[in-house]
Every structure is written in structure tokens, then in C-alpha cells.
């Protein structure tokens, strides 16, 4: 669907994209992450056929963006970082204007989906930032594209709006579409993405499936909750266990770190059962994307 190879782009002397390669497969939701200024928007503008680059290649739906007569030929839905509209039009007029085959019923449906029903006939110049983002999303979908590129689709939305957008992205995937979106909201990425690419200073740091990214970084830490407090003596005995690196106690909880990722927790469980104190919880702590992102970025 998207195949980018060795892309290089400068803004004057500034080397913004330093040979990036990435691949978005058909019918996946791809999350594009990176700190401010990493190069996400620059890359996405190129994917949408709107920005020039010096070296490398960018193939979208089998089409080389360098060989396009005009960006509209790509048949992608694109939400730019700061969508611009004709402020004197209202939302309905603008969506009709953007439609390849103008259809009033379809525009009405998409306006309702975007949560803009109340504002359909208001001039866009009076729209709030979140309303403009909703309208931008509607514009990205109005021509029923197979590939959808969204640059921070939920950054200006309230929590309810954010959840709606995430739900919609999953619905679009179920309809057979392919989606790439950038976001700083890692919990959103974690909720819906199949694969993730991270860019830093114009270079791709990794590109992996969400599952393998999280699995590779599972920390061998168990949080064990007991019905009563565990005595110091019992904790000391537990620390003698050959697989255990560290034990921390707080109230009725023990946090136990194992020496290696792939150790079988069975013998740990057997050791804590010997305390003869009822166990209320025994959980392997999972890393979330937030902690990985902070680690990778530093
Ligand atoms: N038109 C431009 N002229 C000069 N430099 C630019 C221009 N557009 C982007 N840059 C620079 O290129 C780098 C990448 O910018 P880009 O907008 O792609 O980052 P981003 O990852 O989208 O960041 P953000 O999370 O803040 O949106 C930044 O250092 C930015 O200053
Ligand atoms: Mg950006």
C-alpha cells in the first residue's frame, strides 16, 4: 500500500528526512510515532503527494508519487496537520465542493458521523479547532478512499471525540481500508494499531508489530497481592530463590523481579504459596507503549 525507501528531504540546509524507509501493508492500522519535530508531518505530506523530496522513492497504491500529474490522482484520504478550508463556506458546501461525485445524502451522513450535525450550515470561519478537525476528517473520507493518511487526527478532540475517531478507524479497517495515522497519544496507538513505526530526528528507529513490540519488552516483574502483610523473615526467605533478582514490599503487595524474561513463574508461585497467606493477585507486569516511547526517545 505504502512503500517508502531511502527518502531524503532537506529544508534549506536542514536535513529533515535522513534516508527513511517504511512499509504500510494492506488493511492494517499503522501508528506513526515520534517526538515533536521528528519528521512525521514531513513524511505524511510526501505520502499524500503534496511535498517534494530529493532522493529515494515513495510508492502509494503502486503509483510513484514523483510521477503524479496532480495529488488528487492518488486516491488517498488525507487529513493534514493543520487543515485549511474556505472560511466563507459552510460545512455542507465545503464537503460538496471536495466531492468527486457530489451527493447531498452522502454529505449529510458524513457530517452526522463527524458529529457536526448542529453546525452543518454554519460558516467554517466560526469553527473551533476541534470542529475543524472533525471537518478535516470528513473531507479525508468523503471520496471513499482505500488508503487513509491522518496526521494527528485526534489532537484537538475532547475525550469522547477521540474515542469516536478510534472506533471509526477500526470500523474503516473492518471495511477493508488501510490507515496510517500519527499521534502523540500512545494509549490510542496501543488500543488500535497493528504495526508501529517510530521516527526520530528524521530516521526510522523501529518498525514493528504492536504485539512483538510489547512482547519483546515484557519486564519479568510480578505484582503479588496477599490478604495480609508478609513478614520480613518470609521476604528474606523468598529472596534466596535462585531466579529472583529483587523483592520490594509495600502493604500487602510484593513486587518481585526475576533475573530473566523467560523464567517459568511456577516455582515463584510455589514459593509464595508456602507463606500460607491467601493470594489475591499474581500478575506479570506488562510494559505499555508510553514507557517504551520514553525509553527509546532518550
Ligand atoms: N517548511 C519547513 N521549513 C523549514 N523546516 C521545516 C519545515 N517543515 C518542517 N520543518 C522541520 O523539519 C523537521 C520535521 O518537522 P515535522 O513537521 O515533520 O515534524 P513532526 O514529527 O510532524 O512534529 P510534530 O509532532 O511537532 O507535529 C522539524 O525540525 C521542522 O522544524
Ligand atoms: Mg507534525
The pLDDT of residue 218 is 66
User: Using CA atoms, how far apart are residues 136 and 21, in angstroms rounded to an integer?
Assistant: 27
Ligand 1 pocket, mutate which of 39, 45, 52, 293 (most atoms under 8 A from CB):
39
* Together in a domain, 31 and 19: yes
Nearest ligand for residue 199 CA: 1
- Domain harbouring 39, CATH code: 3.40.50.300
pLDDT tier, 295 (very low <50, low <70, confident <90, very high otherwise): low
Residues 162 and 42 in one domain: yes
What percentage of the chain exceeds 90 in pLDDT? Answer: 62
- The model carries a pTM of 0.82
Rounded Cα–Cα distance for residues 26 and 253 (Å)? 45
Compute, in degrees rounded to 10, the torsion defined by CA atoms 139, 140, 145, 146: -160
Residue 298 has pLDDT above 60, yes or no: no
**Are 102 and 247 in the same domain?**
no
Nearest-atom number in ligand 1 for the CA of 45 is 18
In this structure, the strands spanning 2-11 and 14-24 are antiparallel
Q: What pLDDT is attached to residue 294? A: 67
If asked whether residues 138 and 279 sit together in one domain, one would say: no
Sheet holding 2-11, edge to edge: 14-24, 2-11, 55-60, 63-64
DSSP result, the chain: -EEEEEEEEEETTEEEEEEEEEEE-TT-EEEEE--TTSSHHHHHHHHTT-S--SEEEEEETTEEGGG-SSGGGG-EEEE-SS----TTSBHHHHHHHH-SS--HHHHHHHHHHTT-GGGTTSBGGG--HHHHHHHHHHHHHTT--SEEEEESTTTTS-HHHHHHHHHHHHHHHHTT-EEEEE-S-HHHHHHH-SEEEEEETTEEEEEEEHHHHHHHT---EEEEEESSPPPHHHHHHHHTSTTEEEEEEETTEEEEEESSTT--THHHHHHHHTT-S-EEEEEEPPP-HHHHHHHHH-
Domain boundary among 189, 215, 241: 215
pLDDT beyond 60 at 296 = no
Q: Which residues line ligand 1 (CB under 6 A)?
A: 11, 14, 16, 34, 36-42, 81
Q: How far is the CA of 148 from the centre of ligand 2 (A)?
A: 16
Residue nearest to ligand 1 atom 12, measured at CA: 16
pLDDT confidence of residue 34: 92
Q: What is the pLDDT of residues 5-21, one digit of tens each?
A: 999 999 999 999 999 99
Does residue 109 sit in the same domain as residue 141?
yes
Q: What is the mean pLDDT of residues 66-72?
A: 78
Task: Out of 181, 215, 249, pick the residue that ends a domain.
Answer: 215
CA gap 25, 55 in Å, rounded: 22
C-alpha to C-alpha distance for 248 and 254, rounded to whole angstroms: 6
* CATH code for position 223: 3.30.70.100
Whether 246 and 100 share a structural domain: no
Domain match, 151 and 267 both: no
Q: How many domains does the chain have?
A: 2
Question: Residues 51-79: what's their mean pLDDT?
Answer: 88
Q: How far is the CA of 184 from the centre of ligand 2 (A)?
A: 10
In the numeric block, which cell numbers belong to residue 154? 485526534
Residue of 15, 37, 53 best suited for mutating to test ligand 1, as the one with most atoms within 8 Å of CB: 37
Whether residue 214 has pLDDT greater than 80: no
The pLDDT value recorded for residue 125 is 95
* Domain extent for 26: 2-215
Mean pLDDT of 190-202: 94
pLDDT tens digits along 98-127? 999 999 999 999 999 888 999 999 999 999
What is the average pLDDT score of the chain?
90
Confidence of residue 279 (pLDDT cuts 50, 70, 90): very high
Nearest-CA residue for ligand 1 atom 29 is 37
From 4, 9, 16, mutation site for ligand 1 pocket: most ligand atoms within 8 A of C-beta: 16
Q: Please give the average per-residue pLDDT across 142-171, as a whole number.
A: 89
- What are the residues whose beta carbon lies below 5 Å from ligand 2 (ion)? 40-41, 81
Task: Identify the pLDDT of residue 158.
Answer: 86
CB atoms within 10 A of CB 76: 25
State mean pLDDT over 46-54.
92
- The region of weakest confidence among 49-58, 82-91, 117-126, 214-223 is 214-223
Q: Are residues 54 and 121 in the same domain?
A: yes
Last residue of some domain: 215, 246, 265?
A: 215
Lowest mean pLDDT among 17-31, 174-188, 209-223: 209-223
**269 and 168 in one domain?**
no
State the cell numbers at 205. Answer: 528507529
Ligand positioned closest to the Cα atom of 16: 1
pLDDT tens digits, 72-105 = 778 899 999 999 999 999 999 999 999 999 999 9
Q: State whether 171 and 231 are in the same domain.
A: no
Reported confidence tier of residue 297, pLDDT bands at 50, 70, 90 = very low
What are the residues facing 35 on neighbouring strands?
Answer: none
Tell me how far the alpha carbon of residue 97 lies from the centroid of ligand 1, in angstroms. Answer: 29
Instruction: Give the Cα separation of 99 and 96 in Å (integer).
Output: 5
pLDDT of residue 185: 85
Amino acid at each position: 500500500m505504502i512503500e517508502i525507501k531511502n527518502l531524503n528531504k532537506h529544508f534549506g540546509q536542514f536535513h529533515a528526512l535522513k534516508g527513511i524507509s517504511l512499509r504500510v501493508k494492506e488493511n492494517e492500522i499503522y501508528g506513526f510515532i515520534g517526538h515533536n519535530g521528528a519528521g512525521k508531518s514531513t513524511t505524511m505530506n510526501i505520502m499524500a503527494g503534496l511535498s517534494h523530496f530529493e532522493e529515494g522513492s515513495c510508492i502509494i497504491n503502486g503509483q510513484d508519487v514523483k510521477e503524479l500529474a496532480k495529488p488528487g490522482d492518488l486516491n488517498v484520504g488525507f487529513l493534514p496537520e493543520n487543515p485549511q478550508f474556505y472560511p466563507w463556506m459552510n460545512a455542507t458546501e465545503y464537503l460538496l465542493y471536495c466531492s468527486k461525485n457530489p451527493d447531498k445524502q452522502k454529505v449529510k451522513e458524513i457530517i452526522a458521523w463527524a458529529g457536526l450535525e448542529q453546525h452543518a450550515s454554519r460558516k467554517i470561519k466560526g469553527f473551533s479547532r476541534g470542529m475543524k478537525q472533525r471537518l478535516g476528517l470528513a473531507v479525508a473520507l468523503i471520496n471513499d478512499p482505500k488508503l487513509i493518511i491522518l496526521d494527528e487526527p485526534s489532537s484537538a478532540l475532547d475525550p469522547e471525540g477521540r474515542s469516536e475517531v478510534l472506533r471509526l478507524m477500526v470500523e474503516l479497517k473492518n471495511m477493508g481500508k488501510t490507515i496510517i495515522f500519527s499521534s502523540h497519544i500512545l494509549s490510542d496507538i496501543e488500543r488500535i494499531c497493528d504495526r508501529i513505526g517510530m521516527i526520530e530526528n528524521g530516521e526510522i528507529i523501529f518498525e514493528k508489530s504492536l504485539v512483538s513490540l510489547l512482547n519483546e519488552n515484557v519486564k519479568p516483574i510480578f505484582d503479588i497481592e496477599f490478604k495480609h502483610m508478609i513478614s520480613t523473615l518470609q521476604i528474606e526467605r523468598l529472596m534466596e530463590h535462585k531466579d529472583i533478582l529483587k523483592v520490594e514490599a509495600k502493604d500487602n503487595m510484593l513486587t518481585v523481579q526475576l533475573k530473566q524474561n523467560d523464567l517459568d513463574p511456577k516455582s515463584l508461585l510455589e514459593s509464595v504459596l508456602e507463606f500460607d497467606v491467601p493470594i489475591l493477585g499474581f500478575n506479570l507486569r506488562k510494559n505499555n507503549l508510553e514507557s517504551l516511547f520514553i525509553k527509546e526517545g532518550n
